[in-house]
Amino acid sequence: MARRDETVSWLCERLAPLGAIRARAMFGGWGVYCEELFFAIVTRDGVFLKADAQSLPEFQAAGLQPFEYAMKDGTQQSLNYYSLPTAADDDDEVLLAWARKALGAALRARAAKESVGARRAAGAAEKARKGAKPAGAGRGKRTVKTS
């Protein structure tokens, strides 16, 4: 599935009302982005949309299946991406409604990462303001003076 296939083109065209859609080849499939937010995966098995703690109950209540793949050791690994309902195959409104849920999950994930980064930066600034040594400072060789 290395080259852009019909499913990816079909999906990108149908998702266009959401914003700037692009697909990028990755891991034998495709990652789908809207305004640079990664929110969907396309594989030979179908289209999978990002879910999170807030949207997961809706995906599960609809009976949608998680994206799973085999690890090198043969174990199965799953990600918080869930299949599209079959109604989305020929109904753009259904597709867009589920895609909006996935975009919401992607936005919340990005906001959480930015919040963690901001807290770390604020903590570092506070330490610097108080004159604390930066992490790792003073960890060089120590000499002991003997008399």
Residue 102, helix vs strand vs coil: helix
Is the separation of the CB atoms in 45 and 82 below 8 Å? no
Greatest Cα pair distance in the chain: 87
Determine the structural domain holding residue 14 and report its residue range: 6-129
Count structural domains, the chain.
Answer: 1
Once rounded to an integer, what is the mean pLDDT over residues 89-93? 95
pLDDT at 133: 56
Q: Residue 134: inside a domain, yes or no?
A: no
Q: Residue 136: inside a domain, yes or no?
A: no
pLDDT at 139: 55
Once rounded to an integer, what is the mean pLDDT over residues 1-30? 88
For residue 1, pLDDT beyond 50: no
pLDDT digits (tens, 9 = 90+) for 120-138: 766 666 666 676 655 555 5
pLDDT at 6: 86
pLDDT at 5: 81
pLDDT at 2: 44
Once rounded to an integer, what is the mean pLDDT over residues 28-42? 95
Q: Residue 137: inside a domain, yes or no?
A: no
CA distances for 64 relative to 51, 74, 77, 103, 145, angstroms: 11, 23, 17, 17, 69
Dist. CA 58–CA 38, nearest whole Å: 20
Task: Look up the CATH number of the domain holding residue 53.
Answer: 3.30.1460.30
pLDDT at 52: 97
For β-strands 76-83 and 37-43, DSSP reports them as: unpaired
Dist. CA 116–CA 2, nearest whole Å: 35
Q: Residue 46: inside a domain, yes or no?
A: yes
Is the separation of the CB atoms in 38 and 103 below 8 Å? no
42 versus 118: the higher-pLDDT residue is 42
Name the H helices within the chain: 6-15, 56-61, 92-130
Q: Residue 135: inside a domain, yes or no?
A: no
Q: Residue 24: inside a domain, yes or no?
A: yes
Dist. CA 102–CA 73, nearest whole Å: 30
Global pTM value: 0.75
Q: Residue 138: inside a domain, yes or no?
A: no
